């Protein structure tokens, strides 16, 4: 049975699949998925890796007769090998991934100045603390970026 969202609203799955495909294109990821794996389960040869997971959501009531606003809260996990060469700065790789993510989430709705995933959502943006581990000690880099996705 196919879910039927409120009129004018895409399904959660449509939104997450479209966002995943959009984010997958920010780098040459060797592994990507929507089912999170521990970095220990993603061998160095399978990195860089990107995972998109959505584990939280919040529904906000609207005036009578209108569907609730739905806020999906997702996380983007990026694993990468920064190596153990002490003459190389691991932050360089990390910053490159974050800059590419910023570009991917740049406003596509010029009128409103928001990233709307091609009009599919009201707004998608980074909000909250980003965890950054460039891999200074062991060469294993990790980034976790919190995303909010507001559905109409």
Mean pLDDT by 10 residues, the chain (152 residues): 63 97 96 96 97 93 79 97 84 95 94 94 96 94 97 87
Reported as type and span, the H/E element at residue 137 is none
Structure tokens at 60: 């906000």
CA distance 37 to 147: 19
Structure tokens at 13: 């799955």
pLDDT of residue 4: 53
Domain positions in the chain are 12-151
CA distance 99 to 34: 21
Residue 31: strand pairing partners: 49
CA distance 107 to 137: 36
| CB neighbourhood size of 120 (10 A) | 17
Which residues, including other chains, have CB under 8 Å from residue 96's CB and lie 6 or more apart? none
Phi, psi of 92 (to 5 degrees): -60, -45
Structure tokens at 150: 């507001």
Rama region for 147: left / alpha / beta (φ>0; ψ in -120 to 50; rest) = beta
CA distance 52 to 35: 7
pLDDT of residue 3: 55
pLDDT of residue 5: 56
Q: What is the CATH number of domain 12-151?
A: 3.30.2000.10
| CB neighbourhood size of 146 (10 A) | 16
pLDDT of residue 7: 62
């Amino acid at each position: 049975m196919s879910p039927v969202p409120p009129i004018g609203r895409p399904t959660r799955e449509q939104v997450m699949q479209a966002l995943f495909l959009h984010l997958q294109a920010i780098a040459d990821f060797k592994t990507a998925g929507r089912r999170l794996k521990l970095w220990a389960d993603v061998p160095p040869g399978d990195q860089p890796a990107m995972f998109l997971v959505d584990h939280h959501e919040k529904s906000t009531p609207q005036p009578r007769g209108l569907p609730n606003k739905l806020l999906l809260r997702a996380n983007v996990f990026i694993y990468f090998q920064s190596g153990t060469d002490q003459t190389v700065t691991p932050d360089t790789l990390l910053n490159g991934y974050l800059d590419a993510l910023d570009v991917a989430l740049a406003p596509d709705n010029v009128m409103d100045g928001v990233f709307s995933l091609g009009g599919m959502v009201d707004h998608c943006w980074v909000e909250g603390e980003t965890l950054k581990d460039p891999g200074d000690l062991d060469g294993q880099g990790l980034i976790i970026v919190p995303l909010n996705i507001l559905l109409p």
